[in-house]
Structure 1
Amino acid sequence: MRELLWGSDRQLTAISRSGLSVPARQAVIDHQVEAGRTVLDFGCGRGGDVRVLRSMHFDVTGWDPYYFPQSRQDPADVVLMTYVLNVIEDAEERRKALARAWHLAGHVLVVSTRLVWERNKVSGSCAADGVLTSRGTFQRLFAPSELRELVQEVTGVRCVSAAPGVVYAFKDDVARIAFLARRVVPEAGWLVSEDMASAIASVVDFAERRGRLPRLEEMPVALVELLAHLQSTELQRVVKRSADPEKIAEGIKRTTLSTLLFLAVELFNGRGPFGGLPLSVQLDIRRCFSSYQEACKRADRLLLKLRDDAYVRGAMRASAVGKLTPTALYVHRRAVDRMPTVLRLYEHCAAIAAGRPQEWTLIKLNHHGRAVSWLDYPGFDADPHPRLRSSYSVEMSGLEATYVSYEESEDRPLLHRKHEFLAADDPDVPKYRRLTDAEIRAGLYEQPYLIGTEKGWKAELERCARELRGHRLVRSTVVSSARQPAPDAAITPGTG
């Protein structure tokens, strides 16, 4: 490939980093950058990600046409192309750079760009298909679906959105399907095993949670060594004698649903042959279904049900978790795995198409039309009425994504009745419910249309002569003239 020409001062866009960039961090979280894999940061800028990844003991090199032009562009298992495409002002050169990075990738290409909602952070005039800044730099801002489509077009493979503005292009379908499986099907957790008894207990625990015995290849090496003297038939007898049949039955049900969820997600993103599935998924299918064909048919029907408004609304009404409003279901992050399978599929499809943000607290699933929003309330656990920091939404019919930040807002939206977003057995629910009950008795919810934002809520607290101390509602030391409480009025505060 010819050396890329510089039409703008691209080197000025490179920033110094003390920590990992969002895309590099996502690749580590998703086990794409991991021990044993080589990494090339293609267009590494000042080399911040390279330095941090090396400090984490990963095998990584970096190349940049300005800061590290002498570095080699050797093929690597993982190629990071972080915020490169958006600074190239020529569309054809952009595609060639992407093709070059794809050629160098042996396992996966990780591509990221700045996104369209960052336009207010980029000052300058329109030029070509982007913005030419006063510093002489260029920024081409992408919509998440637009970036995914570009990477798919150039690489010729089906891609996955790992996060907003972060796309993974895998060299083969086996790697892509393994990534999807890791995101959808819970990974096996193993109890600590130091002797024979604890090793058997770990296998029993796996069997009760998964509904089947593990294969040797699924077990940690240390566990295999502890059980090496047992024949497989002996281990089966021990587990059958020790495991709780009711837990095994529940494990089968749970595994059946998670496998259907995975196969439906896989169809949404492109389904492969049975032999291309991760071993654990193959074993789950053999345990829970009569055949791969039957499992696929059931998963296909599940995916089709996403188009049925009545079915989706019925699933929302039947959901054991979440708050149902006239337009949507809201569920806390800790409770999403307790939603009906079709609703979990709803969220997963949006995440694969346009990316799930790293930071979020609640999901919002619309039942009129199909749209998913991830809402970030960073103070949910500590703040009795947490403030909304950001919202990332994906409209499913056209995969249009929008992002709204409320950090600079003087009147942010806030939450009430926090217990309604959680599962009933969440340990924080009693504390949150006591606070809600106290607020209702105090008259704070008499005009619900007023309390959805900070200013309205503050005014109602003043009107009712109340204030919050943690998750306790107490009489205010400053009484509002709008409402003077009777001298003998009794308050039953929530307990923290």
Structure 2
Amino acid sequence: MSSPLWDSDRRLTAIGRTRLSVAARQAVVDGQISSSTTVLDYGSGRGDDVRGLCEMGFQVQGWDPFYAPDQEPWPAEVVLLTYVLNVIEDPTERRQSLTRAWELAERLLVVSTRLTWERSKVRGQQYEDGVLTSRRTFQHLFSPAELRSYVQEVSGIQCVSAAPGVVYAFRSDKARLRYFANKILPRTAWLSSADTGSAIAAVVEYAEQRGRLPWLEEMPTEMARLLTHLQRSELQKIVRRSVVPERLEAGSRTSTLSTLLFLAVELFNGRGPFGSLPLSIQLDVRAFFSSYKEACRRADRLLLKLRDDSYVLGAMRASAVGKVTPSALYVHRRAVDRMPIVLRLYEHCASIAAGRPELWSVVKLRHQGRAVSWLDYPNFDHDPHPRLNSSYSVDLTTLNVSYVSYTESSNRPLLHRKHEFLAPDDPDAPKYRRLTQSELRAGLYQNPHLISSEDGWEAELVRCGRELRGHRLVRRKDLGQNR
């Protein structure tokens, strides 16, 4: 690349923030940054993430060539490279910065950049592989797939899209697989234990949830101490006398499916040896499968089923949750874990490829082709017909990603029949179902092509002489509008 025709002042790209950046917040939410973790913000700009993380009690240092150049950056367990790569106009220097950040990361490198759909917010003209902005700075906007591939190429390892525009590069397979396990497997809540009796009760509860007896290494430290005087065979006999067989069997089925889901996702992202698996996964494999080889074979078959349109459509029609349309299945966030295992795998693969957004209410899975959309209806629980705020979609065939915001739209898409997106036993489903029945009786669904947007829905409410008060449909007060 030839030398730039302007004096680039990258300091102008460092903005002030009142909250953590998306990448830093994601790392905290995912448990990758804790009180015992050392953190380096490499290219820390004005230092807002450094201050924010310090206020939260984390061990963090910032380094920036302009705002904090005084000391050399030190290696840290977690290195943040936040909105740095996109402002470097020289591809060679861009790569060097990523390489240096990776060298400093002892356990995890977190990389985030601005994304291609932000182009409308960047004023300027095309220059080389980016945009020369109106402020005489530079922006190279990445697609999520490009960013993940770029970090993989430089680091030489399989990376994970933690969120749109946020990539995790783990030093070890074990760390990467622990991340997957925390994302995929249901959390087991341990009952508090103050004595041997309560510790045994907690073990019984765990066994019913997981379908097997826990090992001491899986238990909270205090609980393990309370039970060290018992032989495993003794503890096993006590648990067998105490568990409810039906719950134990249900826990076994759930753990078997969760293990298959984990192994299938692992294959999608690059499978490691048995010894690299988190301990609890290793124990699940031993408890519920004849061998690791057999478990992997079954997980491989599950992943292959994602290519079969008829199988995926059949799973959607058999799903106990969600709404099936001629093109897709729509499921509320609260019900996603109740989908058939192949559909949960479908959604997880998309999240690994492009990152699951922080804000979403309903996931859409296409049954022809492979594409997933996360739809954000911010007032789903309170608005009887929630308005669509944004849509983030990834095509698993091409890995192309699209983002559409409806915040500036004066006629947003909206939802009807909210109960259909939930599990039948969701506590809010009866209230939503009653509203749908009232609207059906009032004739509001006679023209379905009109009611998918705000203006059309309001016109139908007027036509039918109705209005909404919360989740109740009532006659309009303006008698001139009544039928």
Alignment TM-score, normalising by the size of structure 1: 0.95
Partner of 2:436: 436
Q: Secondary structure at the match of 2:295?
A: helix
1:111-260 equivalences in 2 (<5 Å)? 111-260=111-260
Structure 1 unaligned spans of 5+: 1-5, 486-496
Amino acid at match of 2:220: P
Tell me, in whole angstroms, the C-alpha distance in 1 between the residues paired with 2:298 and 2:217.
28
Q: Alpha-carbon deviation of 1:479?
A: 3.8
Superposed CA deviations along residues 304-332 of structure 1, whole A, max 9, x for unmatched, are 00000110011001000000000000000
Does structure 2 retain, via aligned residues, the 8 Å contact 1:212–1:248?
Answer: yes
Q: Secondary structure at the match of 1:449?
A: coil
Tell me, in whole angstroms, the C-alpha distance in 1 between the residues paired with 2:336 and 2:202.
26
Superposed CA deviations along residues 38-79 of structure 1, whole A, max 9, x for unmatched, are 110000000000111111111110000000011321111110
Superposed CA deviations along residues 363-401 of structure 1, whole A, max 9, x for unmatched, are 000001000000000100011000000000000101100
Q: Alpha-carbon deviation of 1:226?
A: 2.8
1:283-294 equivalences in 2 (<5 Å)? 283-294=283-294
Tell me, in whole angstroms, the C-alpha distance in 1 between the residues paired with 2:438 and 2:200.
49
Tell me, in whole angstroms, the C-alpha distance in 2 between the residues paired with 1:303 and 1:7.
51
- 1:480–1:13: structure 2 CA closer, same or farther, 3 Å change rule? farther
- 1:480–1:408: structure 2 CA closer, same or farther, 3 Å change rule? farther
Tell me, in whole angstroms, the C-alpha distance in 1 between the residues paired with 2:26 and 2:480.
49
Q: Bigger CA drift: 129-138 or 275-284? A: 129-138
Amino acid at match of 1:343: L
Partner of 2:3: none
Does structure 2 retain, via aligned residues, the 8 Å contact 1:444–1:460?
Answer: yes
Stretches (4+) displaced over 3 A: none
Does structure 2 retain, via aligned residues, the 8 Å contact 1:462–1:479?
Answer: no
Partner of 2:63: 63
Tell me, in whole angstroms, the C-alpha distance in 1 between the residues paired with 2:435 and 2:428.
11
- 1:7–1:192: structure 2 CA closer, same or farther, 3 Å change rule? farther
Amino acid at match of 1:228: T
Does structure 2 retain, via aligned residues, the 8 Å contact 1:463–1:480?
Answer: no
Amino acid at match of 2:188: A
Does structure 2 retain, via aligned residues, the 8 Å contact 1:379–1:386?
Answer: yes
Does structure 2 retain, via aligned residues, the 8 Å contact 1:62–1:71?
Answer: no
Q: Secondary structure at the match of 1:203?
A: helix
Alignment TM-score, normalising by the size of structure 2: 0.97
Q: Bigger CA drift: 16-25 or 97-106? A: 16-25
Superposed CA deviations along residues 117-173 of structure 1, whole A, max 9, x for unmatched, are 001111111111111112111111110000011101111111000000000111111
Superposed CA deviations along residues 211-251 of structure 1, whole A, max 9, x for unmatched, are 00111111111222332333322221111111011111111
1:244-393 equivalences in 2 (<5 Å)? 244-393=244-393
Tell me, in whole angstroms, the C-alpha distance in 2 between the residues paired with 1:77 and 1:69.
21
1:403 aligns with 2:403: yes
Q: Bigger CA drift: 12-21 or 277-286? A: 12-21
Partner of 1:42: 42
Q: Secondary structure at the match of 1:18?
A: coil
Does structure 2 retain, via aligned residues, the 8 Å contact 1:7–1:89?
Answer: no
Tell me, in whole angstroms, the C-alpha distance in 2 between the residues paired with 1:218 and 1:34.
20
Q: Bigger CA drift: 283-292 or 126-135? A: 126-135
Partner of 1:490: none
Q: Alpha-carbon deviation of 1:480?
A: 5.2
Q: Secondary structure at the match of 2:61?
A: strand
Amino acid at match of 1:185: L
1:73-92 equivalences in 2 (<5 Å)? 73-92=73-92
Identical aligned residues as a percent: 68
Partner of 1:424: 424
Superposed CA deviations along residues 91-126 of structure 1, whole A, max 9, x for unmatched, are 111001000000111001000000000011111111
Structure 2 unaligned spans of 5+: 1-5
Partner of 1:10: 10
Tell me, in whole angstroms, the C-alpha distance in 2 between the residues paired with 1:7 and 1:63.
22
Q: Alpha-carbon deviation of 1:13?
A: 1.1
Amino acid at match of 1:115: L
Give me the CA root mean square deviation.
1.1
Does structure 2 retain, via aligned residues, the 8 Å contact 1:389–1:405?
Answer: yes
Amino acid at match of 1:391: S
Tell me, in whole angstroms, the C-alpha distance in 1 between the residues paired with 2:185 and 2:358.
19
Amino acid at match of 1:293: K
Tell me, in whole angstroms, the C-alpha distance in 2 between the residues paired with 1:53 and 1:406.
32
